């Protein structure tokens, strides 16, 4: 019998990304989806899933509320439940551990990172389903220790929510450093109105906001050794005011373009299309846009 995995996320882009990764790494697994905790409850009452991959922040019912409900059901007391979220601070990790979460995957994440988490939770079942030796990943033995380790690795891979300090570093990185070989070229970061950092699965990218709406943001970033690709998932953190930030806006890379018409251009224009539908985030974003 095929294993069943339920993906719960209010962003269709994230659900599609997870489904593609699952088809690639685990073709023997059947994947179903739900747009929030309420929809997930309905599906979980109708059938049993071998693994739940769930976002934290969703309308109607959050991932934490769904986890707490699941642990109160006989059928899901011990079912692996992985929280997939941009919340990487210790307080939320502890809260999830106390509610019975099995593991944690920080946004943004790569397909490989997702596959490692799934394999860790379903290694034995995958081995039986595939009829072959499972991969070398071994399940964790203690929920709390696993989550604390996962939190640390998520912070290293996904980068934690940005504080004012890193934004100051972002400004220095964008406007400082070695001068361009073409000294007469204008600096596209001059006259900037706001700074931001975009978090990708394996690195952070400091940038300057040039235009922003409720659906996307256009930024200018200095060209470096690491750069994203089209459709890469991303989390945007914006400096709102001194000492305040607008954090964890989920999205993906919609467009990449050289700022200057030359091969060795120093700056790249990036458009991040938002997939977040969290009403609180959208309200904060609206206020920021009004002042931008």
The β-bridge partners of 55 are 84
Q: CATH 3.40.50.2300 in the chain, residues?
A: 3-157
Two structure tokens written together for 184: 């007469």
Is residue 68 within 8 Å of residue 138, measured between CB atoms? no
Pick 3-157's CATH classification: 3.30.420.40, 3.30.930.10, 3.40.50.2300, 3.40.640.10: 3.40.50.2300
Pick 164-291's CATH classification: 3.40.630.30, 2.40.10.220, 2.50.20.10, 1.20.1440.230: 2.40.10.220
> What integer best gives the mean pLDDT of the chain?
80
Query: For the segment 147-187, what is each residue's pLDDT rounded down to a tens digit?
Result: 444 444 444 444 333 333 445 455 455 545 444 444 445 56
Taking the chain, what is the end-to-end CA distance rounded to the nearest angstrom? Answer: 55
What's the CA gap between 99 and 266, in Å, rounded? Answer: 48
Query: For the segment 231-270, what is each residue's pLDDT rounded down to a tens digit?
Result: 888 999 998 876 678 888 989 999 998 888 877 788 899 9
Q: What is the pLDDT of residue 70?
A: 96
Residue 35 half-sphere exposure toward CB, CA atoms < 13 A: 8
Q: CATH 2.40.10.220 in the chain, residues?
A: 164-291
Residues contacting 153, CB < 8 A, separation 6+: 106
Read off the pLDDT of each residue in 191-195 and give the average, rounded to a whole number: 69
Distance set, CA 268 to CA 24, 108, 261, 263 (Å): 31, 21, 11, 11
pTM: 0.66
What's the CA gap between 115 and 280, in Å, rounded? Answer: 31
Region of 16 (left: φ > 0; alpha: ψ -120 to 50; beta: rest) is alpha
What's the CA gap between 275 and 144, in Å, rounded? Answer: 31
């Amino acid at each position: 019998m095929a294993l069943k995995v339920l993906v719960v996320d209010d962003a269709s882009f994230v659900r599609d990304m997870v489904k593609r990764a699952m088809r690639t790494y685990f073709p023997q697994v059947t994947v179903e989806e739900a747009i929030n905790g309420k929809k997930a409850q309905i599906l979980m009452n109708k059938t049993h899933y071998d693994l739940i991959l769930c976002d934290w922040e969703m309308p109607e019912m959050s991932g934490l509320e769904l986890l707490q409900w699941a642990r109160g059901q006989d059928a899901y007391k011990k079912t692996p439940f992985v929280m997939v979220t941009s919340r990487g601070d210790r307080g939320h990790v502890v809260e999830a551990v106390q509610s019975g979460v099995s593991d944690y995957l920080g946004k943004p994440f790569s397909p490989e990172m997702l596959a490692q988490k799934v394999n860790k939770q379903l290694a034995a079942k995958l081995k039986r389903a595939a009829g072959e030796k499972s991969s070398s990943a071994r399940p964790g033995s203690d929920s709390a220790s696993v989550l604390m380790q996962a939190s640390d690795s998520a912070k290293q891979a996904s980068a934690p929510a940005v504080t004012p300090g890193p934004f100051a570093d972002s400004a220095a990185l964008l406007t400082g450093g070695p001068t361009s070989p073409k000294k007469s070229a204008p600096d596209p970061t001059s006259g900037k109105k706001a700074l931001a950092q975009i978090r990708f699965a394996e690195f952070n990218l400091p940038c300057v906001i040039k235009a922003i709406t409720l659906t996307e943001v256009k930024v200018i970033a200095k060209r470096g050794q690491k750069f994203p690709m089209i459709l890469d998932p991303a989390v945007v953190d914006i400096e709102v005011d001194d000492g305040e930030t607008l954090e964890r806006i989920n999205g993906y890379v919609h467009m990449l373009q050289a700022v200057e018409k030359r091969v060795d251009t120093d700056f790249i224009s990036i458009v991040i299309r938002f997939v977040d539908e969290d009403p609180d985030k959208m309200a904060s974003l609206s206020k920021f846009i009004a002042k931008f």
